[in-house]
Amino acid sequence: MEIAYPVGTVRALMATDQVTDATRRALTERLTTETQPPQFFSNYELNLLRTICDRLIPQSEHHRAIDVAGGIDSRLAQGKSDGWRYDDMPIDEDTYQLGLAGIDEAAQKLFGQPFQQLSDTYQDQVLRAVQQAKAPGESWKKLRADRFFEELLAESTYHYYSHPLAQEEIGYVGMADVPGWQRIGLDQREEREPERSK
């Protein structure tokens, strides 16, 4: 995908006094977190999850990869919840483990190979089958496939777009709010807001 917004805007703003200390701390931590060995998942599961997340939200070639799967792993390891769960779903830990096994099972049943061995196109077909609750396999008798997909996609989106590098991608600079915003109407831009290339 072509670059829509210039690279480096958020990182440059983070170094200025247009960002508060608390904001800078939060974003810096995210920028500097290195990929960790799994704490909750097995190595196999984490690799599988990473492959899936990269299909759901393709990484940009203009910055290093954002560790979405690692974000999910670390949340589950800390036993953190987002405050609610669909009543017809198992606890988050079981949901992820069952769901990952289910995706591999569906890959086997549909294309005769584990998910990670498949081509991008076949991987996408497996994921679409899960999303539409049409994926084959025993796992999905214990877990609602469409809801698992919704949870996985929403959480992946959350980890990806919370990252300063992803925010650069979409031209978001709302974190640079120390001076406030005066030009807030339609088509009004302040100098520190990046413009989209035509």
Partner 1 sequence: MHYNKQPTPVDAVVIGTGAGGAPLLARLAAAGLKVVALEAGRYWNPAKDFATDEKAQETLFWTDERLSAGENPLPFGSNNSGTGVGGSTLHYTAYTPRAQPDDLMLRSEFGVGEDWPWGFDQLESYYEEVEQLLGVSGPSPYPWGPARKRAYPLGPLPINGAGMLMQKGCKQLGIRTSPAANAALSAEYYQEGVGYRHACTNRGFCQAGCTIGAKASMDVTYIPLALRYGAQIRPESFVTQLIKDPSGRISDVVYSRNGQEERQRCRYVFLCAGAVETPRLLLLNELANSSGQVGRNLMAHPGLQIWGEFDEAVRPFKGIPGAIISEDTHRPQQADFAGGYLLQSIGVMPVTYLTQMTRALGTWGQDLKKAALAYNHVAGINILGDCLPAAHNYLELSGEKDSRGLPKPRIYFSNGENEKRMTAHADTLMRAIWEAAGAKNVWAYPRNAHVIGTCRMGMNPTTAVVNPDGQSFDIPNLYISDNSTFPSALSVNPALTIMALSLRTADRFLTNNKRL
Binding site residues, partner 1, CB under 8 A = 1, 4, 19-23, 25-27, 30, 55-58, 79-88, 124, 127, 131, 149-150, 153-154, 157-158, 161-162, 166-167, 169-172, 174-175, 177, 179-182, 184-189, 193, 196
Min dist CB 187 to partner 1, Å, is 5
Between 110 and 193, CB nearer to partner 1: 193
Min dist CB 83 to partner 1, Å, is 3
Between 40 and 172, CB nearer to partner 1: 172
What region, left, alpha or beta, does residue 170 occupy, with left being phi > 0 and alpha being psi -120 to 50 degrees?
Answer: alpha
* Cβ proximity of 80 and 48 under 8 Å: no
Min dist CB 85 to partner 1, Å, is 6
- DSSP labels, 110-132: HHSS-GGGS-HHHHHHHHHHHHT
Between 34 and 61, CB nearer to partner 1: 61
d(CA 28, CA 47): 25
Min dist CB 81 to partner 1, Å, is 4
For 93, the 3-state DSSP assignment is: helix
Q: Which of 98, 114, 132 is nearest to 123 (CA)?
A: 114
Structure tokens at 95: 């949901």
Between 111 and 161, CB nearer to partner 1: 161
